[in-house]
Amino acid sequence: MNATELAAAVRSGERSAVEVVEEHLSRIDAREGELHAFNLVMADDARAAAAQIDAAVARGEDPGPLAGVPVALKDNMCTRGLPTTCSSKILDGWKPPYDATVVTRLRDAGAVFVGKTNLDEFAMGSSTENSAFGPTRNPHDPSRVPGGSSGGSAAAVAADFAALSLGSDTGGSIRQPAALCGVVGVKPTYGAVSRYGLIAFASSLDQIGPFATTVADAALALEVIWGHDPLDSTSIGSVPSAIESPLAVLDRGVEGLRVGIVDEITLAEGIAPEVRAAVEAAGLALESAGASVEHVSVPSAEYGLSAYYLIAPAEASSNLARYDGVRYGLRVDGETVEQMNAATRDCGFGAEVKRRIMLGTYALSTGYYDAYYGTAQRVRTLIIRDFERAYERFDVLLGATSPTVAFELGARTADPLAMYLSDVCTVPSNLSGDPAMSVPFGADAAGLPIGVQVLAPALQEATMFRVAAAIEAAKGSAS
Amino acid sequence: MTDTTDTADASRTDQWETVVGLEVHVELATVTKLFCACPNLFGAEPNTNICPVCLGLPGSLPVLNERVVEFALRVGEAFHFDVPERSIFHRKNYFYPDMPKDFQTTQYDEPICLAGWLDVDGVRVGITRAHLEEDTGKSVHLGGGGRIHDASHSLVDYNRAGVPLMEIVSEPDMRSSEQARRYVEELRATLLAIGVSDVKMEEGSLRVDANISVRHYGDEFGTRAEIKNVNSLRSLARAIDYEHDRQIEMLERGERVKQETRHWDEEAGCTRPGRSKEEPDDYRYFPEPDLVPIAPSAELRAHVRASMPELPAAQRTRLIDEWGINDHEAGVLLSTPGLAEYAETAVVALDGGGTPKDVVNWATNDVLSYVNETGLSPALLAPEMLAELVRLVGDGTISRNQARDVLAESLREEKWPKAIVSERGLAQVSDEGALGAAVDDVLAQNADAVEEWRSGDDKVKKKKRGFLMGECMKALKGQGNPQLLNRLLDERLARG
C-alpha cells in the first residue's frame, strides 16, 4: 500500500496505524542489516506515535492527511531530543533541543517517524558512501550504491521501510538517489519548504523535498511540508496560498502543454545511451498524451557543475565553521583553543567534507574571490536567465536525472571528479532555484531503474506534477 | 618650569597636526536580539538569554528584527545619511570561541547608511557609513592571569551573542582629542534623543575605537594606529594625546609609524601593541545566504521621518534662545537622558510663577544629583512638583535654603512641595508687623551688641549685624522672610 492508501485506510479506521507501523518495522528488521538505510530506527517512538493515531481515530478525530503513514527523515533534519548526526562524527552525542519545521508539520499531519536515514556526511556526495557510519546499499542491487546524498531516504522508500521519506537536495541529492532507487523524488522551488532545522550544507541551494513510490504520494507529502515559515527568512510568503495545488491537478493530463527536452542534460557526453533513450521515450509518451515536445538548448546549463562546485563549497566552508568543539558534538583536546579546534575538526570530518571546506575557503579568499566565487555567481545569473528564456517557450523541461544507473560501491570513490559528474543534470535547478523532480521511467538491461527529470519554472509545481503523473502513467508501456 | 620644554612643545604643536577618525559601536536598545526573539538585556545570569538561533545551533536560521531596521532609519535621519533602497548582510568568517557560528553576520560593502555628517561646535564631521552587525558572546578566562594564554580554562557567556550593534564610522575629520571627545558627546546625545541606544560606555553599550595619525600641516595623511579598549570619554582624549606624542616622537627620531592595532592601558596611561598575527586576517566575506536584502518600505521611511524627535543640536539652540541659559547649562541638561524633557515640562507648569532659568538651576543641580545618586530616570520624576517648588520660592513662601530640603523630600517621597511646607510649618513669616515686633524684641534684649555695632568699624559692624540677624531668625524659628527681615533690621538700626 502506498502512502495515500495507507492514510485513507487509517483515517477510515479500516487499518490500525500500529499494524501499519509493525509491518514496516518487520521489513526493516528483515533487510536493514543488509541495506543500512538508517542511522537510527525509532521503533519504540514509532509504535507509541502509531498508538496515539489509533486512539485519535477511535475518538472520532481526524489525525490528518498522513494519518499513520510511516515516514523516514534524512539525518540532517533536527529532531528534538534525538541524535541528529549528518552522518558525521563531529556531531557525536548532540541532540537538538528543537524540531525542524518539516518535522513538526509531518507530525501534525499524523505521520509516524520510523527512523533517521543515512546520508553522505553533511549531504556532500552522490553515493552515500561518504557516511561516517558506513554506506547504504541499493535495494535493487545491494552491490550498488543508492545514490546520494539522501541515499538512506531513497533506499528506505524503495525497500518499503517507510511509505514516504524526506531528503534534502543541494545539487541533486533527492533526485539522483530517487532515480537510482526507482522512486519519485522532488526538489521543490527554493523557499517553498522551510529550511529551519535542516542542518545547512549550502544555504542558497539546500531545499527539502519528499521521496515516494508514486507521484501522487509525493504531492501529498509536499503539500504537508511546504508553506511559509516565519523562522526561515528565505521562505516564500505566497506558498501555498497563491499557488496551485499539485494534488488537485494530477489527473488533468498534459494536453496542450509545451515540453522541451534539454540537450545539455540529455545528450551531453557521459550520459548513458539507455538513460538518453528513457528521456526520449518519456517525451514520446507525453506527445502521445497530447503535449507538444521539442528539443531545446539551455547553453549555460553546461557550466552549472563548475559554478556549483564553487558556490556550494564556499557556503559550506562557512556553514561548517561552527563545528569547533566549543559548544556541542565532538571535542578533541589541545593545548590551545586553536589546537583544540583543529584537532576536533581533523578527527570529526571525513575526507570529502574536508576537501569541500578547503575548496570553499580557497574560493572565498582575498585575491581569488572574484575569479572563483564571483564568476560562479555570474554563471548562476546566466543560468537563471537561460532557463527563464526557455520557459518563455515551454511549460516544462525534460532531461536525465542521473547520467547513469546505480553504480557499484567503490566505483567512483577514488575519483572525486567522476563522482561530482553524477550531479551534472541536477545542479542547474538548484542554481536557478526552480523546482525539479525525478520520476522512475524504465530500466536498463540489468533491470536497474532509470529516472527521468521534469523541470519547471519557480512555483509551477502543479504543472510539473501533472507532467510527472503522465510519465508515471505511461511507465507500464516503457522499456 | 624651564622654557626649553615649553618651546619644544610649542614648536611641535605648530608643526604637527593630529588626524582622528572614530569607529563607534552602539548597542541598539531593541527589546529582542538582532536575529531571534531572545531578550536584549544587560546583566542577566550567564547563558539565560539564549536560543538555538543566537547559539548558532545546527539547522537554526536568522530572521531580521524589523525594529532594527526602523532604528537604522532613525540613525539615517539624524545624521543625514543616504539609506539605499537595498542593503545586505555579509558573513565575516573567523574562528573565535565566543562567536557561536564562527562567523559574524555583519554588513560589509552594502551597508544600510552611507555618507552622513554631524556638526560638532561648528565643524562638520563626515560619517562614512553606519552598518548593522551582531555582537559576540563574552569569554571569561579562569586560572592564570585572566588572559586566554595562561588560563586553565575558559567559560563563555552567550547572552550578548546576537545583540544588535550599529557601527558608525567617521571620516578622519577630527584634529584634536577635544574635538574627538565632543564628537562622541554629540553622537551620544543624538543617539539618546532618537531612542535607539542607551549609549552607556561603562556598560559597553557604546564602544569607541580611534584611528589616529599625525602629519605636518598640508601633508598627506600619515600611517594610522587603531586604538582599542577605550572605555570612557576621558580615556579617549588621553589615548589620542598619548598616540599624538608617541607618533611624533617616532617620526622625529626618523622612525616610521606602524599600521597596527594598539590597546589603551588606562592604568599605565599608554597604548600597547595588540597581539601581532603572522598573517593578516582573511575574513572571506560573502553575502549571507540565509537572509534576504533589507529594503525599507516607503511607509516605514515616512513613519520614521514623521516620528523623529527634535535633535539635541536644535534643542540646545532653542533652549539657549528661549530660556536665556548658557551653553554649559544647556549641555548639562542634554547630556542626561530625559532631563531636558523634565525641565521643559516643569517650565510649562510654572504658569508664570518663576523663570525657566530657576527651573534649570534646580534641574541641573539638585535634581541631577538625585538622578545620579539613585540611577532613576528623570522621566520617572514629576516636573510639576519642581514647578510648584519654584513658585513657592518665587512668591516668598519659603527661602532657597528651605527649598533645597523641601525638594529633596519631594523627590524622595514623591510629595508635593506645598504639602511638605505645610507639614513642616515652613511657610515664611512675611508679615511686617510680626517681623518688626520680633526685631524690636531682639534689639532690646541685645543692647550691648547694638552699642558695639554703633561704635565699631566696618568689620565689627558687619559681625554684629550678622549676630543680630541670626538672633532675629532664631526668634522667628527660621521662618522669617529673610529679605524683609534684613530691611527691617537695617531700618531700625539706622534709626537708632
User: Are residues B284 and A337, on separate chains, in Cβ contact within 8 Å?
Assistant: no
Residue B205 identity (one-letter amino acid) = S
Residues B285 and B209 in one domain: yes
How does residue B5 score in pLDDT terms, banded at 50, 70 and 90? Answer: very low
Mean of all residue pLDDT scores within chain B: 89
Instruction: Tell me the HSE value of A303 on the side-chain side, using a 13 A CA sphere.
Output: 16
Q: In angstroms, what separates the C-alpha of B109 from chain A's closest C-alpha?
A: 14
Mutate to test the interface with B, among A318, A365, A378 (most CBs of B within 10 A): A318
User: Are residues A233 and B60, on separate chains, in Cβ contact within 8 Å?
Assistant: no
Residues B331 and B275 in one domain: no
Under a CB-based contact definition with an 8 Å cutoff, are residues A393 and A296 in contact?
yes
Look at residues B424, B454, B475 and tell me which one is the last residue of a structural domain.
B424
Model pLDDT, residue B145: 62
Residues B123 and B270 in one domain: yes
Residues B354 and B411 in one domain: yes
Model pLDDT, residue B4: 43
Residues B211 and B104 in one domain: yes
Under a CB-based contact definition with an 8 Å cutoff, are residues B171 and B129 in contact?
no
Look at residues B247, B272, B300 and tell me which one is the last residue of a structural domain.
B300
Residue B59 contacts A, CB cutoff 8 Å: yes
The domain tally of chain B equals 3
Residue indicated by cell numbers 521611511:
B301
Q: Residue B6 falls within a domain, yes or no?
A: no
What's the rounded Cα separation, in Å, for the pair B277 and A393?
Answer: 57
User: What domain range is B167 assigned to?
Assistant: 17-300
How does residue B171 score in pLDDT terms, banded at 50, 70 and 90? Answer: very high
The yes/no answer on whether domain A3-249 falls in CATH 3.40.50.620 is no
Mutate to test the interface with B, among A73, A319, A349 (most CBs of B within 10 A): A319
Q: What is the pLDDT of residues B371-409, one digit of tens each?
A: 888 888 888 888 999 999 999 888 878 888 888 989 999
Residue B310 contacts A, CB cutoff 8 Å: no
Its ipTM equals 0.95
Look at residues B424, B450, B477 and tell me which one is the last residue of a structural domain.
B424
CA nearest to A341 within chain B: B95
Q: Residue B21 falls within a domain, yes or no?
A: yes
Lookup: cell for B198: 542607551
Q: Residue B1 falls within a domain, yes or no?
A: no
Residues B149 and B202 in one domain: yes
Residues B409 and B478 in one domain: no
- Active-site choice (A87, A153, A165, A173): A173
Residues A401-422: what's their mean pLDDT? 91
Residue A21 has pLDDT above 60, yes or no: yes
What's the rounded Cα separation, in Å, for the pair B160 and B353?
Answer: 49
What's the rounded Cα separation, in Å, for the pair A363 and A365?
Answer: 6
Model pLDDT, residue B9: 52
Model pLDDT, residue A414: 87
End-to-end CA distance of chain A: 24
Residues B162 and B278 in one domain: yes
Q: In angstroms, what separates the C-alpha of B126 from chain A's closest C-alpha?
A: 29
Lookup: cell for B436: 518688626
Neighbour-count burial for A307-324, b at 16+ CB within 10 Å, e otherwise: bbbbbbbbbbbbbbbbbb
Residue B426 has pLDDT above 90, yes or no: no
| CB-nearest partner of A327 from B55, B64, B289 | B55
How does residue B20 score in pLDDT terms, banded at 50, 70 and 90? Answer: very high
How does residue A308 score in pLDDT terms, banded at 50, 70 and 90? Answer: very high
Q: Would you list which residues of chain A are within 8 Å, Cβ to Cβ, of chain B? A: 76-78, 84, 86, 91, 94, 96-98, 100, 195-200, 202-204, 230-234, 314-315, 317-318, 321-322, 324, 326-328, 336-338, 341, 361, 364-366, 369, 373
Residues B143 and B195 in one domain: yes
Residues B126 and B195 in one domain: yes
Q: What is the pLDDT of residues B335-346, one digit of tens each?
A: 787 898 899 999
The winner for highest mean pLDDT among A149-153, B222-226, B452-456 is A149-153
Which residues, including other chains, have CB under 8 Å from residue A285's CB and lie 6 or more apart? A470, A471, A474, A477, A478
Q: Residue B5 falls within a domain, yes or no?
A: no
Model pLDDT, residue B170: 97
User: Are residues A322 and B101, on separate chains, in Cβ contact within 8 Å?
Assistant: yes
Residues B436 and B420 in one domain: no
User: Are residues A369 and B63, on separate chains, in Cβ contact within 8 Å?
Assistant: no
Q: Residue B12 falls within a domain, yes or no?
A: no
Which residue intervals of chain A bear CATH 3.90.1300.10? 3-249, 251-306+370-477
How does residue B480 score in pLDDT terms, banded at 50, 70 and 90? Answer: confident
Respond yes or no: is residue A149 known to be catalytic: yes
Q: Residue B225 falls within a domain, yes or no?
A: yes
Model pLDDT, residue B477: 77
Model pLDDT, residue A43: 98
Model pLDDT, residue B1: 39
Residue B474: CATH number of its domain:
1.10.10.410
| CB-nearest partner of A96 from B59, B148, B149 | B59
Residue B253 identity (one-letter amino acid) = R
Residues 146-165 of B with CB under 8 A from A: 148-149, 154, 156
Residues B285 and B314 in one domain: no
Residue A440 has pLDDT above 90, yes or no: yes
Fold of the domain built from segment(s) A251-306+370-477:
Amidase signature (AS) enzymes (3.90.1300)
Q: Residue B208 falls within a domain, yes or no?
A: yes
Mutate to test the interface with B, among A92, A364, A380 (most CBs of B within 10 A): A364
Residue A477 has pLDDT above 60, yes or no: no
Residue A471 has pLDDT above 60, yes or no: yes
Model pLDDT, residue A317: 97
Respond yes or no: is residue A88 known to be catalytic: no
CB-CB neighbors (< 8 A) of B291 in chain A: 233-234
Model pLDDT, residue B7: 44
Q: Residue B61 falls within a domain, yes or no?
A: yes
Under a CB-based contact definition with an 8 Å cutoff, are residues A174 and A198 in contact?
no
